[in-house]
Amino acid sequence: MADTIAAVATAMTASGIGIIRISGPKSREIAGKIYRSKGGKKRIENVPSHTIQYGFICDEDEIIDEVLVMVMDAPRSYTGENTVEIDCHGGVLAMKRVLETVVKYGARPAEPGEFTKRAFLNGRIDLSQAEAVIDVINAKNEYALKSSISQLRGNIQRVIKEIRQGIIYQIAYIESALDDPEHISIDGYGDTLKGEISLLKEKLNGLLDTVREGKLMKEGIKTVIVGKPNAGKSSLLNLLVGEERAIVTDIAGTTRDILEETIVLHGISLRMIDTAGIRDTDDVVEKIGVKKAVENAKDADLILYVVDSSVPLDENDKEIIELLKDKKAIVILNKMDLQQQVTEEDLKEKTNHPVVAVSAKEEEGIEFLEAKIKEMFFEGNLSFNDEIYITNMRHKAAIEDAKRSLELVENSIEMQMPEDFFSIDLMNAYEALGSIIGESVGEDLVNEIFSKFCTGK
């Protein structure tokens, strides 16, 4: 039988309330030992499931905190086990003391992710849903959140199960035909199977097609701003950052305090790289040089090239334009509030990149930039109605494995191999897809996945 685990489920910082979660067969018993109702008569052991009790957490005569205690019996709880949650005051010390008391009376401190792991092991959720839990917690923009919620609701599980069903049907057919050749004919089955496999592959490809967008959605578009000094790079950056709250990320091991900032434009995250250089003095920009910036941008998804429209293009611009060849870039024609010396058409022709006209000073034209980014990366139609995006690289690898196995079946058909060869690779495809939802996965993988969780989840 599983032991009873406990952890602080909320953040370990001072806040309004903190939640101590207890899960396992002894949850009620442990809570019962440390709970006192106001009148002193009510016992946690006897209250109905799914009710909330007001009272105190005590260690013998000592009152630790004033609390609400929520009792949820198996199987109707997050883990599927008997669960008790204690809402205490959200002070770090208060939460720590309540947890210590729970542990003192028989619970074991939970490992990271252990509650969700139990939910998975008890069949409350599949592995893709468990992974969605981390993604929901870590979501950095609205689309990433929606995608994770959709996964949490079992949408990935649904399509994967559907595809697996298609595969297992073929395996079953082949096996029964081999067992009972008198009644089930397998003549010419290769051709039928070929058609089926091509349909299954189409579905897998459909999922793989969402990976790029899914990744950009989840992790953000890696973006670099380049342009000559004085073009308005930092003004633009300030404007973009100012429009919506930026999340500033400290990258460990660097002396610069800001190296990457995330800007959220209408639900899409732009991860701005190397902003420190831009924000510093002009001579640093000069020193870094555009060439270096573009080099840094090698693995960037997008380069924003800022041009001052009030001065004619010069040799430096030519050089930058040269460097932007074959890159994904948007030219931002800035300072449109001034007399124009460079036109949109002119730049479009010279750079072969889309051009948007803005004024960072007047805060105009940013919506065109947003629209262009959506068009370039999400074909403009980033609506979200339960569409599935593969955002987890483990899932991607499993889908690719399954696809490879189906291709081996195609080869075997082509080479007119005996039918039992088909079943082996079909089975491999079936199992590869099963790993996404947690069927036929080893303990190591399960442990690795849950170790990425925080304690208390």
In the numeric block, which tokens belong to residue 268? Answer: 């899409």
278 binds ligand GDP (CB under 6 A): yes
Is 233 annotated in some ligand binding site?
Answer: yes
Q: How wide is the angle at C-alpha 430 spanned by C-alphas 426 and 431, nearest 5°?
A: 120
Sign of CA dihedral 388, 394, 398, 401: positive
Q: Give yes or no for residue 397 binding ligand GDP (CB under 6 A).
A: no
**Identity of the residue, 337 or 400, whose beta carbon is nearer to ligand GDP in the bound complex:** 337
154 binds ligand GDP (CB under 6 A): no
Q: Can the peptide bond before residue 25 be classed as cis, meaning omega within 30 degrees of 0?
A: no
Choose between 337 and 401: whose C-beta lies nearer to ligand GDP: 337
**The token pair that represents 292 in the structure block:** 């270096």
Burial of residue 65 (number of CB atoms within 10 Å: 0-12, 13-18, 19+):
buried
CA-to-CA distance for 336 and 368, rounded, in angstroms? 13
Site for ligand GDP in 217-276 (CB under 6 A): 227, 229-235
- Cβ at position 322, least distance to ligand GDP in Å: 19
Can you spell out the DSSP letters for 361-395? TTTBSHHHHHHHHHHHHHTT----SS------HHH
- Stretches 114-122, 173-181, 191-199, 334-342: which one binds ligand GDP (CB under 6 A)? 334-342
CA angle 339, 344, 349 (to 5 degrees): 135
Of 334, 391, 423, 435, the residue at the interface with ligand GDP (CB under 6 A) is: 334
36, 361, 374, 394: which one contacts ligand GDP (CB under 6 A)? 361
Within 280-309, the residues that bind ligand GDP by CB under 6 A are 282, 285
Q: How many helices (H) and strands (E) are present in the chain, helices listed first?
A: 17, 14
* Single residue of 63, 137, 172, 338 touching ligand GDP by CB under 6 A: 338
- Interface region with ligand GDP, contact rule CB under 6 A, candidates 52-60, 65-73, 130-138, 353-361: 353-361
- Is residue 195 a known part of a binding site? no
The C-alpha atoms of residue 373 and residue 306 are separated, in whole angstroms, by: 15
Strands 260-265 and 268-273: antiparallel
Burial annotation 253-277 (CB, 10 A radius, 16+ → b, else e): eeeeebbbbbbbbebbbbbbbbbbb
Q: How far is the CB of 255 from ligand GDP (least distance, A)?
A: 21
The correct pick among 83, 150, 157, 359 for binding ligand GDP (CB under 6 A) is 359
Asked if 215 touches ligand GDP (CB under 6 A), the answer is no
C-beta of 348: minimal distance to ligand GDP in Å? 19
Q: If binding is defined by CB under 6 A, does position 372 make contact with ligand GDP?
A: no
327 contacts: CB under 8 Å, gap ≥ 6:
294, 297, 303
Confirm or deny that 255 is annotated as ligand binding.
Answer: yes
Nearest CA to 201 out of 209, 190, 213 is that of 209
Check the annotation: does 223 bind a ligand.
Answer: no
**CA-CA distances (angstroms) from residue 101 to 34, 57, 62?**
8, 8, 11
Rounded to whole angstroms, the Cα distance separating 7 from 456 reads 5
Of 100-108, 135-143, 357-365, 424-432: span binding ligand GDP (CB under 6 A): 357-365
User: At its nearest, how many Å lie between ligand GDP and the CB of residue 283?
Assistant: 10
- Considering only residues 156, 216, 360, 429, which one is a binding residue for ligand GDP as defined by CB under 6 A? 360
Q: Which is nearer to ligand GDP, 209 or 282 (CB)?
A: 282
Rg (C-alpha) for the chain, rounded Å, is: 29
In the complex, what is the shortest distance from the CB of residue 293 to ligand GDP, in angstroms, rounded to a whole number?
11
Asked if 288 contacts 296 with a C-beta cutoff of 8 angstroms, the reply is: no
Stretch touching ligand GDP by CB under 6 A, among 165-173, 195-203, 354-362, 400-408: 354-362
Annotated binding-site members for Mg(2+): 234, 255
Q: What residue numbers does the annotated binding site for (6S)-5-formyl-5,6,7,8-tetrahydrofolate cover?
A: 21, 85, 124, 457
Q: Which residues bind ligand GDP (CB under 6 A)?
A: 227, 229-235, 278, 282, 285, 334-335, 337-338, 359-361
